[in-house]
Amino acid sequence: MTSKVVYPGSFDPITNGHLDIIKRACSVFDEVIVAVFHNPQKKPLFSMEEREKFLIEATRGIDNVIIDKFEGLTVDYVKSKKAIAIIRGLRAVSDFEGEFQMASLNKQIDGEVETIFFMTDTKYAFLSSSVIKEVAQFGGNIAELVPEQVEEELMKKYHIYK
């Protein structure tokens, strides 16, 4: 049996922290589906198509990753892909409460869907898409924190030219 998992997220934009989780999940599972989620509660800076494009570019060369996008319940998406689990990254203890709540809700909705947590590498523990956007908006250096294409697109969005 092939072990297939789904790593869902808004990825607005993808960071090197996300990439770290993707690479590590790919070393454990046969197939990792990284799925851009449309969250109606958020107003993303980048379209789903742009985020999907960033992920495709950033994961080029990783053989067992598939990039996709979806709307609706994550558990429904996971089941439709015949995946065995949801992957989630944890940066700090503060992330755990919200992630635990969501994992418990997903388990209540569908008892067959597991959630597997990956602790982020400590060098990315402070990193979030929100922080990246804020730093980029004020012209800060994000070169070591995001893939090169994402850095370029953020600078364009915020009309910052170096």
Annotated binding-site residue? 47: no
Instruction: Using pLDDT thresholds of 50, 70 and 90, give the confidence band for residue 41.
Output: confident
Instruction: Using pLDDT thresholds of 50, 70 and 90, give the confidence band for residue 55.
Output: very high
Annotated binding-site residue? 128: yes
Position 156 in a domain:
no
81: its two tokens? 């892909």
pLDDT exceeds cutoff 80 at 161: no
What 3-state class would DSSP assign to 62?
Answer: coil
Tell me the mean pLDDT in the region 43-60: 96
3 classed as catalytic: no
Position 130 in a domain:
no
Range of the domain at 8: 4-122
pLDDT single digits (tens) 143-160: 999 999 999 999 999 988
Annotated binding-site residue? 42: yes
Annotated binding-site residue? 124: yes
Number of domains making up the chain: 1
91 classed as catalytic: yes
Kindly name the residue from 24, 38, 81, 91 that is annotated as catalytic.
91
Position 135 in a domain:
no
Kindly name the residue from 42, 60, 123, 156 that is annotated as catalytic.
42
Position 68 in a domain:
yes
Distance CA 26, CA 64 (A): 6
42 classed as catalytic: yes
Burial 60-96 (b: 16+ CB within 10 A, else e): eeeebbbbebbeeebbebbeebebbbbbbbbbeeebe
Give the pLDDT confidence score for residue 162 in this predicted structure.
60
Position 159 in a domain:
no
123 classed as catalytic: no
pLDDT exceeds cutoff 90 at 10: yes
Position 133 in a domain:
no
Position 82 in a domain:
yes
pLDDT single digits (tens) 70-114: 999 999 999 999 999 999 999 887 789 999 999 999 999 999 999
Instruction: Using pLDDT thresholds of 50, 70 and 90, give the confidence band for residue 42.
Output: confident
User: What CATH number is given to the structural domain containing 115?
Assistant: 3.40.50.620
Give the pLDDT confidence score for residue 159 in this predicted structure.
84
Annotated binding-site residue? 127: yes
Per-residue CA distances from 23 to 17, 26, 32, 75 (Å): 10, 5, 9, 22
Give the pLDDT confidence score for residue 129 in this predicted structure.
94
